[in-house]
Structure 1
Amino acid sequence: MSDSNPLPSFETMGLAAPLLRAVKDAGYEAPSPIQAESIPPLLEGHDLLGQAQTGTGKTAAFALPLLSRIDVNQRDPQLLVLAPTRELAIQVAEAFQTYARYLKNFHVVPIYGGQSYDIQLRQLKRGAHVVVGTPGRVMDHMRRGTLKLKGLQALVLDEADEMLRMGFIDDVKWVLEQTPPTRQIALFSATMPKEVRKVAQQHLNKPIEIKVQQRTATAETIHQRYWPVSGLHKLDALTRILEVENFDAMLVFVRTKTATIELAEKLEARGHAAEALNGDIPQKLRERTVDRLKKGQIDILVATDVVARGLDVKRISHVLNYDIPYDVEAYIHRIGRTGRAGAKGEAILFVAPREKRLLRAIEKTIRQPIEPMKMPTAADINVQRVSRFKQKIRDALAENTKNELFYQMLTELQEEESAEPLEIAAALARLLQGDEPLLLSEKAERHPRTSDADNQPRQSRNQHNGPSTKKPRSPASDKALPLKGHPEVEMQRFRLDVGYEQDVKPGNIVGAIANEADLESEYIGHIEIYDDYSTVDLPAGMPKETFHALKKTWVCQRRLNITPIGGEKKTGKHHPRKKKKTASRK
């Protein structure tokens, strides 16, 4: 949509009155470009193929028109939304609830791995007009007969490229094939890989194609900078940035779950309101943490890519990539957490010398240079500290509270010590500051580098995702291999009832286990794929609930039926077609 054509208003688009009221309550003044182009054809019943970056308002682009066609008197699911992660599924479900707040008796149900089946079964039994879920859990409910889609009117594939990257594309195809042929389909994707376009060609009926015109793959409202890691520890650099940058809330990305906790604890020790967000943290606690961020009770969230997917918090003014992501799509999704819906945002990237190649790949894809930033000097920090200290005193002076007692005390002290008023004020200032020096020493400029995360050896994405060049063992050993990067974790080998004959790929296995077991992929170890089964190394001592959930999980239209391998003879044919270590999407 060109700049010369003004965007229409929500009122002229034909949306139902209750939705317009909710849109007004949400503070939306005018539709974004993706909303302006998507709402009319979806209201008319057309299939739609939309390419738009995260943060452009695409949830409202499909939710508002499809909600306008919901019959609240019909209790069976009329709309299904597939999302790659539980976080995005929850986010989308919450958005539907917000937009439908004035639709009486409306119900939306999010279904995803990691949550109790009992909760989801009760909600589905009560009746749901809209179901939002991850592909694996949706498939499971469909096979159980607890999710029936005979009356389905529309289906949305949200972030289809991400579902492809996580290995869910075959599950998505299966769900599409089980839905009524008359249903309407909307597919949204930030990028358009060949496999995603192939799905669109096979399942969408003469879709209206929409591509939001942007000069770059990232929002123009995001100011992007990078710091070449040198001289300072990354933690010290982050601390300086936090002191100098004028931010409301900041999202800090690291690669591993362990790093989220370690970094959050170190920031807290330095006086910052920070918390970690990772897949090991229970879902309810993660939701509570995000809510605290929204309410301003914490200011910094240290997170991994997976759990931050779909995070939409208006307060996030800054995204800082403490660890550079290994693929450009992840970078785009990361920084899309700020600069949303036209607001300005800041994105900062830490780049070690050997990571310059990744920086250049990002710049090439987003078609714009990322400007280098200078790390704040000790002098810069001290200017800010003095300014904040003065402001504390100004705030105290502005309170206009009666200070007769203090006047009397200080007058007596001045006479007793024969001290000047400024001498007394300086002594009080020292008491206010405490033992911590107010000014940063210039010696801090010459910090040596240590074995921080930026100094750890990096494996390329090809090493993780490409087929192994080593000769496969035959037959495969029952003994699990040590987990690379986490030798302290005891691993156990498991058998999966899915193999090469089902055209399974390591990504399918990783995606299913990561979603259903709420397990970061860095803890999913060695995978070998045989003709009719596969093996995977997972942390020993898996909770019974998780084990039972994985047994019932479907991959490539077949149950995993996971079983531990304890030396019993395998029944499969021992000639692996593929052998690889899993992708480390940390």
Structure 2
Amino acid sequence: MTTEVSFIDLGLSEDILNALNDLGFSKPSPIQSECIPLLLKGNDVLGMAQTGSGKTAAFSIPFLMNIDANLKAPQLLVLAPTRELAMQVADACSEYSKYMKGIKVLALYGGQRYDVQLRALKQGPQIVVGTPGRLLDHLNRKTLDLSNLKGLVLDEADEMLRMGFIDDVESIMATIPENHQTALFSATMPAPIRRITKRFMHNPKEVQIKGTNQTAPDIDQSYWLVRGMRKNEAIVRFLEAEDFDAAIIFVRTKSATLDVAEVLEKHGYSCAALNGDMTQQLREQTLDRLRNGRLDILIATDVAARGLDVERISLVINYDITLDSESYVHRIGRTGRAGRAGRAILFVDSRERRLLKNIEQTIKKPIPEVGLPSKELLEKRRLAKFTQQVQKQLESSDLEQYQTLLSQIQADSGTDLETLATALLKLAQGERPLILPPDPVFKPSRDTRDFDGRGGERRLRGDNRETPKRRERRDVGDMDMYRIEIGKENGVEVRHIVGAIANEADISSRYIGNIKLYETYSTVELPKGMPKDILKHFEKVRVLNQPMKMSLVSGAASDAKRGRKSNKFDASDKGGAKKRGRPSAPKF
């Protein structure tokens, strides 16, 4: 009989134990139970575990125990493959160290202004979490001093290899003082990763945690492929189409909790954000409002929602898909409590289909796709609510006074009663019109099901679909070609472009098409219909300290596939495509 280990048994400080208690952590996960003691003893650790196994706490907690708060210099460096993961790890480190005085955590990633990062570095953060490209930039600029480093962590090393960052990782590791402790985590262990462990790690202790075979709770699940309209517009439609007592909406970042809450408040929903910046007292007040019915919708991050258990929650919307499938299971487990029916909706961007497949493998069943709630459905539900309000007023005792006013308005306007009633109906509908514009038109995707307003599925279309013959590896359909104003003369390589695009847009490298390098510029194929905000962001992104200035090449990708020469332009042709009427990239 094995004895169950607690966080107290691991010898953690009172400050960290209090932080874990606030987060609802009752006992360590398997990887935490094994890694924390090894790292506290000073061993290098090589961990093989899937995302979502709790490895962030497994490496950050023991390293926090050895941080000198009085030394205002980086003592722990964490390398992450994407800016999203870097922000999540930094947020988690901040949560674990919130009772430790003087501890500062900084995330460094591409897309953020250098002057902002330089000011933060001058404040002396003890923990730095960053993506390889931006960290290497700071090291080359000598704005990041790692001479006092005690610990180094490589998180999701195989993902960094796949995204083309492994050379940058080795360059960073070669500049770090030898007298430090290293922890490397990877779901798989390909040869290049093994090479790093042999070259840079000292007799690492191996910890291998097998993924748990979780099954989905008894919850009605579906996903919506993001297209036709933005998420903010779609979430209002889904909330209006669903019958729920209380709902929780999961997003990835703290700022997103506030953004989504603002959108919903404008549409009249009683909602609140729940994120790591809130004090424990404010968090408890917010949850009490949700429990007693004064609040109906909570917008939360995964970290902030840990330990949340409210029976009223009957709907979970995954506004942002989780980076790991086990977190998805934890998310949707917030609904369907106390024997109640539960409903979960997942928003999936076209570049996130791989993550959807991982979730389906974990829960051991497919998640059906649901269509966007139609205008007919919304009109029907709005009319029903409006009719209820009218019926309630018909039972009022003071209608005679208003009948007098109505007769006066009719006499003054000289119109018939039916036309007057129609005008008053239009006026009374308020900000939620009873008649909506036509729905956006787009091609149906696989396994599309009609939305009936109760999460049901009326009919299945596309069962006889054919597997697309082209681009099976990426499964993203048509591609658009883009031009980048950086080429061979700047020393750029394909891996630099892949890394910049994958990291800045959080796009998996498998969704990036052909890349061609020319002397003064390059071209790259990306999935058709990239969001405009991402493309606008790419105008400012830098590769090898040179701005990309990405622009769409009209019809280039399709022309190239037909054998036409679509690249007959040079670096001096800036703005020419626009003058010739280049179409803008369509929305997803």
Fold in common (TM above 0.5): yes
- Alignment root-mean-square deviation, CA: 6.3
Deviation digits for residues 335-366 of structure 1, max 9, x if unmatched?
55534499547765699xxx9x9899658954
Q: CA separation of 1:17/1:464 partners in 2, compared to 1, >3 Å: closer, same or farther?
A: same
User: In the alignment, does 2:549 pair up with 1:550?
Assistant: no
Query: Which among 98, 101, 104 is matched to residue 101 of structure 1?
Result: 98
User: In the alignment, does 2:146 pair up with 1:149?
Assistant: yes
1:187 CA drift (Å) = 1.8
Query: Which among 136, 141, 146 is matched to residue 139 of structure 1?
Result: 136
Query: Which among 465, 468, 473 is matched to residue 462 of structure 1?
Result: 473
SS of structure 2 residue aligned to 1:206: coil
- Residues 38-47 or 513-522, more deviating: 513-522
Deviation digits for residues 465-522 of structure 1, max 9, x if unmatched?
9xxxxxxxxxxxxxxxxx9448xx8x4543145769xxx5x34422125546999989
User: In the alignment, does 2:181 pair up with 1:181?
Assistant: no
Give 5+ residue unaligned stretches, structure 2: 278-282, 336-342, 404-420, 449-467, 526-533, 549-568, 574-587
Q: CA separation of 1:318/1:37 partners in 2, compared to 1, >3 Å: closer, same or farther?
A: farther
Cross-structure match for 1:370: 366
Q: Which amino acid aligns with 1:566?
A: A
1:450 CA drift (Å) = 4.5
Task: Output the CA distance in 1 between the equivalents of 2:164 and 2:487.
Answer: 19
Cross-structure match for 1:528: 516
1:193 CA drift (Å) = 4.7
Q: CA separation of 1:174/1:543 partners in 2, compared to 1, >3 Å: closer, same or farther?
A: closer
Q: CA separation of 1:94/1:349 partners in 2, compared to 1, >3 Å: closer, same or farther?
A: closer
SS of structure 1 residue aligned to 2:445: helix
Task: Output the CA distance in 1 between the equivalents of 2:87 and 2:235.
Answer: 34
Deviation digits for residues 215-255 of structure 1, max 9, x if unmatched?
43x686696845799xx9999999568633746234599xx
> Does the 8 A contact of 1:319 with 1:337 survive in 2?
no
User: In the alignment, does 2:3 pair up with 1:14?
Assistant: no
Cross-structure match for 1:451: 442
Please, what TM-score do these two structures have when normalized by structure 2?
0.58
Task: Output the CA distance in 1 between the equivalents of 2:322 and 2:509.
Answer: 20
Residue identity over aligned pairs, in percent, reads 33
Task: Output the CA distance in 1 between the equivalents of 2:148 and 2:571.
Answer: 46
SS of structure 2 residue aligned to 1:462: coil
Task: Output the CA distance in 2 between the equivalents of 1:363 and 1:518.
Answer: 18
1:89 CA drift (Å) = 1.9
> Does the 8 A contact of 2:521 with 2:571 survive in 1?
no
> Does the 8 A contact of 1:19 with 1:100 survive in 2?
yes
SS of structure 2 residue aligned to 1:181: coil
> Does the 8 A contact of 1:85 with 1:134 survive in 2?
yes
> Does the 8 A contact of 1:241 with 1:376 survive in 2?
no
1:414 CA drift (Å) = 8.3
- Residues 125-134 or 537-546, more deviating: 537-546
Query: Which among 492, 495, 501 is matched to residue 487 of structure 2?
Result: 495
Task: Output the CA distance in 2 between the equivalents of 1:183 and 1:416.
Answer: 81
Task: Output the CA distance in 1 between the equivalents of 2:372 and 2:484.
Answer: 47
Deviation digits for residues 433-489 of structure 1, max 9, x if unmatched?
9659x9x99xxxxx9995247389895353699xxxxxxxxxxxxxxxxx9448xx8
Cross-structure match for 1:338: 328
Cross-structure match for 1:33: 30
Give 5+ residue unaligned stretches, structure 1: 254-259, 276-285, 289-293, 302-307, 323-330, 397-405, 418-426, 442-446, 466-482, 554-563, 569-585
User: In the alignment, does 2:78 pair up with 1:47?
Assistant: no
1:268 CA drift (Å) = 7.6
1:154 CA drift (Å) = 0.9
> Does the 8 A contact of 2:49 with 2:211 survive in 1?
no
Please, what TM-score do these two structures have when normalized by structure 1?
0.58
Cross-structure match for 1:248: 247
> Does the 8 A contact of 2:157 with 2:193 survive in 1?
yes
Superposition map of 1:561-580 within 5 A: 566=571
1:156 CA drift (Å) = 0.9
Identify the structure with bigger relative contact order (alpha carbons < 8 Å, sequence gap 6+).
1
Q: CA separation of 1:372/1:512 partners in 2, compared to 1, >3 Å: closer, same or farther?
A: closer
Between the two proteins, the alignment pairs up a number of residues equal to 458
